Amino acid sequence: MAEEKPLTVVTCTAPVNIAVIKYWGKRDEELILPINSSLSVTLHQDQLKTTTTAAISRDFKEDRLWLNGEEADVGHPRLQSCLREMRRLARKRRGGSAGAAAPLSLAYKVHVASVNNFPTAAGLASSAAGYACLVHTLARLYGVEGELSEVARQGSGSACRSMLGGFVQWLMGERPDGKDSIAQQVAPETHWPELRVLILVHRAEAVVPERMAQMIQFIQQRDFEGFGQLTMKDSNQFHATCLDTFPPIFYLNDVSRRIIALAHRFNAHHGKTKVAYTFDAGPNAVVFTLADTVEEFVEVVKCSFPPESNGDQFLKGLPARPASLSKELLSAVVLEPVPGAIRYILLTKPGPGPQPLDDPNLHLLGADGLPCPRA
């Protein structure tokens, strides 16, 4: 009987993050070193995550990659730089521990399969979750420990922020080799338990350092008024800068602008900042609010953008009870409803960083090192 082929498999998940102080560009394209520090909220993996399985075997003939079930180019330069760096760190670690058990040969090829549980085009940073997940999974596969956000950054800049949970800053750093351009946790996900995030599916150097300090202070004090105002200002200035380039970059569409106006009317009606929007490189709004406002604001969005068919599935993710709106609020906030403009709302909250999945039934690769058939 043939001997069982040696196959070592590790599966992990990693989160999406949403920048509230954005990163406006790179000072080094190859190492992905930013021109400013940035700050993000890590979203909970119960709603949004990337799952990655990595396997090594002496029988694999080449490195291979599958994304959402389709084989992809494993030669992508950013992917290669992460693989190269993780193998280098693994070699370095092996060199430093004489009594280590027989190591998995670093010459073995690796198979990687990765899936997102959210649409890649939803305007969410799928590359951030993807590269954070890749680096975390390879680290466990190769037994590498320590500071790994610097490696994730070389795959996708914002991926370094998905290596940690809660509220995370990516320090721009000063060194030309990028060793100090790493992610640090400002506060854990448990720090602000009332904070909620609604995703409504469908910029530079001088002002940012001051904003970073202010934003960290607002988060530490759980000051939603300050946090919300600064999040919206940073998003607006980022998108104004995109429009100011030539030719201009239009990330926002008409529905995006309607959501912005709706948020301002809602806040004006209440006389304080109760919701705060931000937009990344896409038209979908991410709205921050507190738990006591979620139900009312979801109802306002429903009235402003009445769902066409999937009324029961208009709200996904965390549950929210239906709310009744006052006539005053309706007349002040809901002006011209646009049916069907928003497909759904995903409700989530801050969450932890990458997690291992120890259940072998959750591996994306089978005993042959190829993707398992997906149900």
| Phi, psi values for residue 26, rounded to 5° | -110, 140
What is the per-residue pLDDT for 243?
78
Q: Percent of the chain having pLDDT more than 70?
A: 91
- How far apart are alpha carbons 319 and 148 in whole angstroms? 35
Q: What is the pLDDT of residues 186-221, one digit of tens each?
A: 999 999 999 999 999 883 344 557 788 899 999 999
With bands split at pLDDT 50, 70 and 90, how would you rate the model's confidence at 99?
very low
By CB atoms closer than 10 A (0-12, 13-18, 19+), residue 302 is buried
Please provide the DSSP assignment of 64-81 as one string. Answer: EEEETTEEE-TT-HHHHH
The mean pLDDT of 38-64, rounded to a whole number, is: 96
**Are 254 and 266 within 8 A, CB to CB?**
no
Q: Which of 123, 116, 145 is nearest to 284 (CA)?
A: 123
Per-residue model confidence as pLDDT tens digits over 108-135: 999 999 999 986 655 676 899 999 999 9
> How far is 375 from 366, CA to CA, in rounded Å?
14
**What's the mean pLDDT in 9-17?**
97
Overall pTM surpassing 0.75 (yes/no) = yes
Report d(CA 128, CA 171) in Å as an integer.
16
Residue-level pLDDT at 103? 57
Which secondary-structure segment (H or E) carries 209?
helix 208-220
Alpha carbon of residue 284 to chain centroid? 14
The per-residue pLDDT for 309 is: 72
Q: How many angstroms separate the CA atoms of 96 and 102, rounded?
A: 14
**Where on the phi/psi map is residue 68: left (φ > 0), alpha (ψ -120 to 50), or beta?**
left
- Per-residue pLDDT reduced to its tens digit, 290-342: 999 999 999 999 999 999 775 568 999 999 999 999 999 999 999 999 988 89
* SS3 of the chain: helix, strand, coil, percent, to 5: 35, 25, 45
